[in-house]
């Protein structure tokens, strides 16, 4: 398997309009193997950080089981606009919605899929808050939608009320319960550094 530090702004797969994606580097990532590695989970285009790939079919199956059974522990870092208590849990169900004017988004709705996000504040300053997030489920846009629901959207998340600019969300750590265990940590991307410092976060 591989764990890559995916840059923000680079999609895993090419979209309908084309453009650069991680698939452009499939041959280099193959590293002499028969098949190119495949992503074992998802990261939004604008999210940077740890992304796991399986290099063989058995590896993909094993990784799939880890993510499906909650044995893949993910920690994200984000800078939010607004405020939150020092720690807490959001368990708001999420449902996909779409309109011609707005496009699609994930909304809190009792009819949606169960979703759970845990958070812990790492620092505060200048009207911003740095938080560590632990998603216990893997719904699309879960962290973004939950924080917006709490009145604390992620900085730069225009779709969910965080204002224009680059999304301040990092897939910071990935821990896989394999034998032996596998762990990876991604660095803070340059576009998050100034806001992170303003919050006084470590």
Which positions are catalytic?
Answer: 44
Strand partners, 96: 106
> Quick one: three-class SS letters along 74-104?
EEEEEEEECCCCCEEEECCCEEEEEECCCEE
End-to-end CA distance of the chain: 30
Neighbours of 13 (CB within 10 A): 10
Q: Which residue in this structure is represented by tokens 């009320």? A: 161
Alpha helices (H) along the chain = 26-30, 57-68, 142-149, 190-198
Cβ 49 vs Cβ 43: under 8 Å: yes
Measured CA to CA in angstroms, residue 149 lies from 44, 77, 92, 161 at distances of 19, 18, 8, 10
């Amino acid at each position: 398997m591989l764990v890559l530090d995916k840059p923000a702004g680079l999609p895993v797969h090419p979209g309908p309009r084309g453009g650069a994606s991680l698939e452009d580097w499939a041959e280099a990532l193959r590293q002499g193997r028969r098949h190119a590695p495949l992503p074992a989970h998802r990261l939004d285009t604008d999210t940077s950080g740890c992304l796991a790939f399986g290099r063989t079919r058995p590896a993909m199956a094993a990784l799939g089981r880890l993510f499906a059974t909650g044995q893949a522990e993910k920690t994200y870092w984000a800078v939010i606009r607004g405020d939150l208590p020092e720690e807490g849990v959001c368990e708001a169900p999420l449902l996909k919605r779409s309109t011609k004017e707005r496009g699609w988004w994930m909304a809190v709705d009792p009819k949606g899929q169960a979703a759970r996000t845990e958070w812990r504040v790492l620092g505060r300053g200048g009207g911003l808050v740095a938080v560590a997030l632990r998603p216990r489920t893997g719904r699309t846009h879960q962290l973004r939608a939950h924080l917006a629901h709490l009145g604390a959207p992620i900085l730069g998340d225009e779709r969910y009320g965080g204002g224009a600019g680059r999304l301040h969300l990092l897939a910071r750590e990935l821990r896989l319960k394999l034998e032996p265990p596998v762990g990876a940590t991604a660095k803070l991307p340059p576009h998050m550094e100034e806001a992170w410092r303003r919050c006084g976060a470590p």
